[in-house]
């Protein structure tokens, strides 16, 4: 299989999922798939970064090392853009080239949790069956490298998607929180966690944007995952890791 098992600081980055989780199946939803869903009850161990943090580039780096980081950052940002094209074109082989063999795919609301490349592919194939045309596009992408492992990086990506689901034109505001791993075939996703600010019909956008229950993808009304200060009553802890 074209893939690579991902480890960080000697441990697999794959979260541990209990049996019977709510991973999206034949009608699974990823970035807007179909079917009704319940929250996953599986306990997820978040991928941890290596001791010492990331993003604090040492002043003693050589010019060659600094150039390598520029090249790595460009490759990771390309990976994120290619993700959108592969989703829109329903490219199963492409999915296998995006993720590590032992990678994970999760949603912040607990609707799905896929562990390993085969489960990830199954999740996306279920999504493709439920969706009409889609258009994924990316915005700002912040990448930080792990200071203790040159083959590991972390990222926050802002994104939107235009999708047709259940015959309805919908718009989605997404964030992706990622762990990337360098493999023998280039950078890949070791873990991808997606969350939604809103997921609503195009015709309802103006009415939904200011409401608490902004996610309308499941046949009901649910809270958006962010801004966390409004949805959870506290600022996000992860943001500090990306600041100087």
CATH number at residue 90: 3.10.450.50
Give the three-state DSSP class for 25. coil
pTM of the full structure? 0.78
| Residue 201 belongs to a domain | yes
pLDDT score at 55: 57
| Residue 1 belongs to a domain | no
| Measured distance CA(128)–CA(130) in Å, rounded | 5
| Measured distance CA(157)–CA(100) in Å, rounded | 19
pLDDT score at 5: 54
| Residue 119 belongs to a domain | yes
| Residue 99 belongs to a domain | yes
| Residue 139 belongs to a domain | yes
| Residue 192 belongs to a domain | yes
Scored b (16 or more CB within 10 A) or e, 63-102 reads: eeeeeebeebbeebbebbeebbebbbeebeeebbbbbbbb
| Measured distance CA(46)–CA(43) in Å, rounded | 9
Find tokens 């990823």 and name the residue.
30
What distance lies between CA 105 and its chain's CA centroid? 7
Cα→Cα distances 241→25, 46, 154, 182, Å: 34, 15, 10, 21
| Residue 105 belongs to a domain | yes
Strand order in the sheet with 99-107: 113-115, 99-107, 186-201, 168-183, 152-165, 131-145
Q: Which of 120, 133, 152, 184 lies closest to 53 in space, CA to CA?
A: 152
Higher pLDDT, 21 or 83: 83
Question: How many domains is the chain built from?
Answer: 1
| Residue 74 belongs to a domain | yes
pLDDT score at 165: 92
Min mean pLDDT across 44-58, 77-91, 130-144 is at 44-58
Min mean pLDDT across 10-19, 78-87, 177-186, 219-228 is at 10-19
| Residue 180, domain extent | 7-242
Mean pLDDT of the chain: 83
pLDDT in tens, 102-143: 999 999 998 889 999 999 999 999 888 889 999 999 999 999
């Amino acid at each position: 299989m074209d893939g690579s098992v991902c480890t960080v600081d000697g441990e697999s980055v794959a979260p541990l999922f209990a049996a019977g989780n709510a991973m999206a199946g034949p009608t699974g939803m990823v970035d807007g798939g179909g079917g009704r869903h319940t929250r996953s009850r599986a306990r997820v161990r978040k991928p941890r970064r290596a001791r010492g943090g990331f993003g604090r580039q040492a002043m003693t780096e050589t010019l060659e090392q600094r150039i390598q980081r520029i090249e790595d950052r460009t490759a990771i940002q390309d990976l994120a853009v290619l993700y959108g094209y592969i989703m829109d074109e329903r490219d199963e082989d492409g999915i296998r080239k995006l993720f590590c063999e032992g990678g994970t795919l999760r949603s912040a609301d607990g609707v799905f949790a896929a562990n390993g490349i085969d489960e990830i592919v199954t999740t996306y194939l279920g999504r493709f069956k439920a969706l009409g045309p889609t258009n994924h596009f990316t915005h700002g992408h912040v990448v930080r490298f792990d200071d203790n492992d040159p083959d590991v990086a972390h990222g926050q990506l802002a994104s939107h998607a235009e999708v047709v689901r259940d015959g309805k034109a919908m718009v989605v505001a997404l964030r992706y929180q990622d762990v990337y791993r360098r493999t023998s075939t280039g950078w890949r996703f070791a873990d991808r966690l997606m969350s939604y600010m809103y997921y609503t019909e195009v015709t309802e956008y103006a009415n939904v944007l200011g409401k608490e229950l902004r996610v309308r993808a499941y046949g009901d009304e649910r809270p958006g995952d962010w801004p966390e200060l409004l949805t959870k009553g506290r600022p996000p802890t992860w943001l500090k890791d990306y600041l100087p």
